Structure 1
């Protein structure tokens, strides 16, 4: 997508997530990496439900703001993800209710916040590690996330998201629509698991292997 289309797509995705309750108030942010290596990112404290395309922050590949309203304080994290995962062209962070609630109650495992209870979770999301709480915008978070990306890539099970304890998920993919789909599947899986009182059992190794062989699931 060119810059104009990317601006419009960020606004469309933001409005869609807000309308369906995946984000609230001024929580969350979205960015897109452009073909020239620069970035578009939502402004700090912006409501994703009523973004204005011309007000999105345009930031150089080096992190220098070029135009628009002041960039989100999570810019360092977004840039680090793009550097660590070359396939990523969109990063989305929200404070999704069920996922944040899950971190308050206790995740399944530190390297997998929910068990693989549905086939689409395995295929569309994959492993999602927990990042221990740090204040919003803390620079140390970026280092932890990129470390997880490197480890998962080496293990040939690349991740598409992490969960920031008490803050919410950060997901990425090749387009805003695909990143949004990862976020939605992750939040809905957390909701299902909580609805089962965290008793729902994971798919078996045999069932997951079938998803690998049939659909190329990277689990």
Structure 2
């Protein structure tokens, strides 16, 4: 298994300040204060990548795994200032590779703390415990079975009365109170009607009953003439 190539870190001075040049991918280099680099290397490691920006420029960042298992693109500027969730870090001089502390500023609006979105390398024991409680609560919500929806008693009575009246009306009209279509029996020419139940089908059931009566009368006349 091949190992990643070690990045070079070169100490230097710039404007009278101690800095380090951190080698990135794509042949790019980032600048960090020498005082901040040991903590960044200890927490995040020294393997940083060049991330493309608008205008052909580059920034410095790397992917970090969060407590909920997602991948988070974390910039080197964030590693220096470590702002709250929802905030982002911008540079003052327009050079995203210059991550000296005095060149960085925090912008945006802080969001409520979400322990699941905390990088694993930055998570405290409190964050881990809060995330476990959050996950257990979500699992209990998924396991809980929703209660069956029951109609109010007065609505159920009205519905039952309505269907009773529809059934009686269908029986008086010569139909059979069952769902289905007007169809011919396989053992003979007699027709049966299976009207649909419901207020939206009342007119259709009446029409079916009339049509069946006419067909029966026509068949009776035809049989009498044949005899």
TM-score (norm 2): 0.22
**Structure with higher strand content:** 2
Tell which structure's C-alpha radius of gyration is larger.
2
Which has the bigger relative contact order, CA under 8 A and spacing at least 6?
1
